[in-house]
Amino acid sequence: MRSNRSLILLISAPSGAGKTTVSQGLLANNPDLFRVITCTSRAPRLGEKNGVDYHFLTRAVFLQRIEQGDFLEHADVYGDLKGILKDSVAELLQSGADVLLNIDVQGAATIRTVIAQDPQLVGSLVTLFITPATRVELENRLRGRDTDTEEALTRRLATASSEVISWTDYDYLVLSGSREEDLARVQAIYSAEKLRASRHSFQWTLP
């Protein structure tokens, strides 16, 4: 007899470190790994579909669900509320799927606390932090994108400096190299965690 325990893979990284590219690669390579659909209080944009791009909630409903403790994590992003429902994560895990979360350092801290207190989710979380080895390397990447003003670049680097301090709170540290190297390293972590003995119930079936 053999059964697997699903997991939540949480990735954090400073802006420009490549977590979005890594996340896209993981989702493409692992059919049992899924992104959770986020809730938002903003109105749908042209072409967006409820339940596909986001779960669109009115601000009043969103605030009510915060009061009810329904969110694994939530934040106010430039006036719009965004968050991940605990039930959305639990449903995926119960179906046998794994969950990928791309979350900032502050959100990751909240998620650790919530999961540790939730009987449905406790023990499922695996966290990793991706960062270039030096601040200079991150700055070069951000400048190479050529998408930020000097003021915005300074702000991103300041935020990154405060985020990197938190790397010791994570299960794994990935020092970023090329896109291919980063994906290979994170894939190796995910594959190893799937083989962790604590996630399995196993015994030989006697003839």
Angstrom CA distances, 19 to 46, 64, 101, 157, stand at: 27, 32, 10, 16
Q: What is the pLDDT of residues 10-63, one digit of tens each?
A: 999 988 888 889 999 999 999 999 999 899 999 998 899 998 889 999 999 999
What are the domain boundaries of the chain?
2-36+96-199
The listed range with the strongest mean pLDDT (1-5, 26-30, 44-48, 196-200) is 26-30
Q: What pLDDT was estimated at residue 95?
A: 92
Is residue 2 pLDDT above 50, yes or no? no
Question: pLDDT: is 116 or 206 the higher one?
Answer: 116
Whole-prediction pTM value? Answer: 0.86
Domain 2-36+96-199: which CATH number of 3.40.50.300, 3.40.47.10, 3.40.640.10, 3.20.20.80: 3.40.50.300
- Sign of torsion, CA 155 156 159 160? negative
